[in-house]
């Protein structure tokens, strides 16, 4: 029985989110990790992707415009009083 | 995914009329709620109205929250119902494909990144940089958050909604699927594309820094 073909870098890039989500079947995960072990480019890419997720998670959103805040606060007070 | 103890505490405080808890919740969820509403309605102004109506719906329904889903899932579901109804009523329901904003076969890295033919077909033509070698101040959250924010603004509506809910708000894939009625595969494809675009924006930013450094 022949082994499945090793992943190319291009294929790995397509699978990176599946990998991070834990959604790769065991065989594909093994191929993915085997490729990583021998490829600096893809190791860097995966690390970049993890860092991207981490930095996105640190995003602090802009303040809501004052007018919107006022409306919501007043809606809350009306509801509370009702 | 049931409501967490934190969720239940927030609900208790809302029921008790705690303003600060309400405004805190609003501040955290509003930006993502706007993007989600924008998936269903034609304009930003209408999206804002949907979000306002959703908060009213949340308050009016808070006594009935049973904790069978997380609080955020429950809130986003209320919003989606309102925005969908509004979008349909205005006969401006946006076709699924155009919510995507791009062709489904668009690559997530530039095509020139990979060697096209020969023995090394499919391998990197230029290696992705090791960001660990980048000067520390370039990748501080304060510096990069502008880059990330701008990249998120450029995303098509559904990609924006999914990445904000997953990566900015930290909701689980199950919560996002339940709130937005997406299949597991759909949700993951949207997340994949959105993350790829943000990564690209950060990579360009890092590369620009290196170029600037190398100038005489």
Q: ipTM of this predicted complex?
A: 0.88
Is A8 within 8 Å of B121 when comparing Cβ atoms?
yes
A74 touching B (Cβ < 8 Å): no
- Characterise B59 by phi-psi region: left (phi > 0), alpha (psi -120 to 50), beta (else): alpha
* Residue ranges of A 33-72 with Cβ closer than 8 A to chain B: 40-42, 44-45, 47-49, 51-53, 55-64, 68-69, 71-72
Q: What is the pLDDT along chain B (216 residues), one digit of tens a residue?
A: 788 999 999 999 999 999 999 999 999 999 899 989 988 888 889 999 999 999 999 999 999 999 999 999 999 999 999 999 998 887 655 555 455 555 555 678 877 889 988 888 899 998 998 888 777 777 776 778 889 999 998 998 889 999 999 999 999 999 999 999 999 999 999 999 999 999 999 999 988 876 676 666
Give the C-alpha separation, B167 to B170, whole Å.
Answer: 5
Is B128 within 8 Å of A56 when comparing Cβ atoms?
no
- Residue A63 or B147, more confident: B147
- The whole-chain average pLDDT of chain A stands at 91
Residues in A closer than 8 angstroms to B148, CB to CB, are 55-56, 59
pLDDT for B30-86, tens place per residue? 989 998 998 888 888 999 999 999 999 999 999 999 999 999 999 999 999 999 999
Is A73 within 8 Å of B59 when comparing Cβ atoms?
no
A73 touching B (Cβ < 8 Å): yes
Give the C-alpha separation, B95 to B55, whole Å.
Answer: 26
Is A48 within 8 Å of B129 when comparing Cβ atoms?
yes
Q: In this structure, are residues A32 and A12 in contact, taking their beta carbons and an 8 Å threshold?
A: yes
Among candidates B123, B129, B195 on the partner chain, residue whose Cβ is nearest the Cβ of A17: B195
Q: How many CA atoms lie within 13 A of B170 on its CB side?
A: 7
Which chain B residue shows the shortest CA-CA distance from A46?
B128
Is A13 within 8 Å of B109 when comparing Cβ atoms?
yes
The helix/strand/coil state of A68 is: helix
Which chain A residue shows the shortest CA-CA distance from B185?
A18
Among candidates B114, B149, B199 on the partner chain, residue whose Cβ is nearest the Cβ of A52: B199
pLDDT for A2-38, tens place per residue? 567 889 999 999 999 999 999 999 999 999 999 999 9
Range A59-77 burial, b when 16+ CB lie within 10 A, else e: bebeebeeebeeebeebbe
Give the C-alpha separation, B52 to B57, whole Å.
Answer: 9
Phi/psi at B69 (nearest 5 deg)? -120, 175
Give the C-alpha separation, B58 to B54, whole Å.
Answer: 6
pLDDT of B91 reads: 61
Q: Write out chain B in H/E/C secondary structure.
A: CCCCHHHHHHHHHHHCCCHHHHHHHHHHHHHHHHHHHHCCCCCHHHHHHHHHHHHHHHHHHHHHCCCCCCHHHHHHHHHHHHHHHHHHHCCCCCCHHHHHCCCCCCCCCCHHHECCCCCCCCCECCCCCCHHHCCHHHHCHHHHHHHHHHHHHCCCHHHHHHHHHHHHCCCCHHHHHHHHCCCHHHHHHHHHHHHHHHHHHHHHHHHHHHHHHHCC
- Characterise B155 by phi-psi region: left (phi > 0), alpha (psi -120 to 50), beta (else): beta
Q: Which of A55, A70, A74, A75 best tests the B interface by mutation, with the highest count of B CBs <10 A?
A: A55
pLDDT of B214 reads: 67
Q: How far apart are the first and last CA of chain A?
A: 73
pLDDT of B166 reads: 96
Structure-block tokens of residue B191: 């997340």
Q: CB-based contacts of A42: which residues, under 8 Å, 6+ apart?
A: A9, A12, A13, A35, A36, B124, B128
Is B139 within 8 Å of A8 when comparing Cβ atoms?
no
């Amino acid at each position: 029985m022949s082994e499945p073909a090793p992943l190319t870098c291009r294929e790995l890039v397509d699978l990176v989110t599946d990998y991070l989500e834990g959604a790769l079947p065991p065989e594909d995960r093994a191929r993915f990790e085997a490729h990583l072990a021998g490829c600096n480019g893809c190791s860097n890419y995966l690390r970049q992707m993890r860092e991207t997720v981490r930095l996105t998670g640190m995003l602090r959103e802009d303040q809501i415009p004052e007018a919107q805040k006022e409306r919501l606060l007043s809606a809350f007070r009306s509801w509370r009083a009702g | 995914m049931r409501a967490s103890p934190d969720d239940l505490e927030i609900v208790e405080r809302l029921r008790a009329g705690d303003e600060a808890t309400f405004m805190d919740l609003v501040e955290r969820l509003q930006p993502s709620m706007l993007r989600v509403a924008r998936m269903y309605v034609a304009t930003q102004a209408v999206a804002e109205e949907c979000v306002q109506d959703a908060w009213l719906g949340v308050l009016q329904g808070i006594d009935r929250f049973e904790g069978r889903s997380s609080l955020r899932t429950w809130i986003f579901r209320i919003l989606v119902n309102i925005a969908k109804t509004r979008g349909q009523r205005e006969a401006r329901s946006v076709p699924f494909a155009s919510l995507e904003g791009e062709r489904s076969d668009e690559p997530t890295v530039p095509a020139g990144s990979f060697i096209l033919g020969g023995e090394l077909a499919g391998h990197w033509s230029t290696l992705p940089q090791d960001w660990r070698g980048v000067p520390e101040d370039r990748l501080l959250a304060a510096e990069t958050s502008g880059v990330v924010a701008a990249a998120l603004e450029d995303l098509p509506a559904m990609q924006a909604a999914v990445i904000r809910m997953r990566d900015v708000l930290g909701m689980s894939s199950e919560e996002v699927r339940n709130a937005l009625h997406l299949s597991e595969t759909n949700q993951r494809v949207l997340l994949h594309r959105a993350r790829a675009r943000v990564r690209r924006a950060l990579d360009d930013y890092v590369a620009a820094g290196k170029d600037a450094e190398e100038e005489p």
